[in-house]
């Protein structure tokens, strides 16, 4: 594969070994299920176990930055985002940004070779993801 070097230090979650991953800052849980045609499906659950989002992997198109939330008032400060990897790629750069030019790059967790999830501690308002010439930015919505 050509392009940027592979980052070996990031956590990798293989859907054959793990079906659930807990995220320490947000308390959210990421689960892997199966969609149509036996494709991996990413399930995002909040700290109470309520389903927040489901994304099914597609081989011909992906949504690089599918979702993002941040802690509400009176909670510990955290931000969480997720998306699908670009087909044929296994990396994505994620950057959380807050007020006063506070930015934090985060190494995402790669899940089932098709998705990524990233979380950070802090008061962030937006998240950006970039991979293979594709870039997306979105506002993080407060999660209550």
The model's pLDDT over 108-127, given as tens digits with 9 standing for 90+, comes to 999 988 999 999 999 999 99
Sign, Cα dihedral of 66, 29, 69, 5: negative
Report the C-alpha gap between 119 and 75 in whole angstroms. Answer: 15
* CATH for the stretch 12-143: 2.60.40
Report the C-alpha gap between 6 and 8 in whole angstroms. Answer: 6
Q: Report, as an integer, the average pLDDT of 3-30.
A: 62
CA-to-CA dists, residue 55 to 4, 9, 51, 77, angstroms: 26, 26, 12, 26
φ and ψ at residue 70, rounded to 5 degrees: -140, 165
Entry pTM: 0.83
Beta-carbon contacts of residue 20 (< 8 Å; ≥ 6 apart)? 29, 30, 31, 32
Q: Report, as an integer, the average pLDDT of 19-30.
A: 92
Pick the range with the lowest mean pLDDT from 31-40, 48-57, 112-121, 122-131: 31-40
The DSSP letter of residue 101 is G
């Amino acid at each position: 594969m050509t392009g940027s070097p592979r980052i070996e230090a990031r956590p990798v979650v293989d859907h054959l070994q793990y079906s659930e991953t807990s995220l320490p800052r947000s308390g959210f849980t990421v689960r892997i299920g199966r969609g149509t045609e036996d494709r991996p499906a990413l399930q995002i659950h909040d700290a109470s176990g309520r389903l927040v989002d489901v994304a099914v992997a597609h081989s011909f198109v992906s949504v690089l930055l599918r979702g993002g939330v941040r802690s509400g008032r009176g909670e510990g400060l955290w931000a969480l985002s997720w998306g699908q990897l670009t087909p044929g790629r296994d990396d994505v750069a994620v950057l959380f940004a807050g007020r006063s030019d506070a930015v934090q790059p985060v190494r995402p967790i790669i899940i089932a070779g098709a998705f990524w999830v990233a979380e950070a501690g802090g008061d962030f308002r937006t998240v950006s993801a970039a991979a293979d010439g594709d870039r997306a930015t979105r506002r993080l919505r407060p999660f209550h």
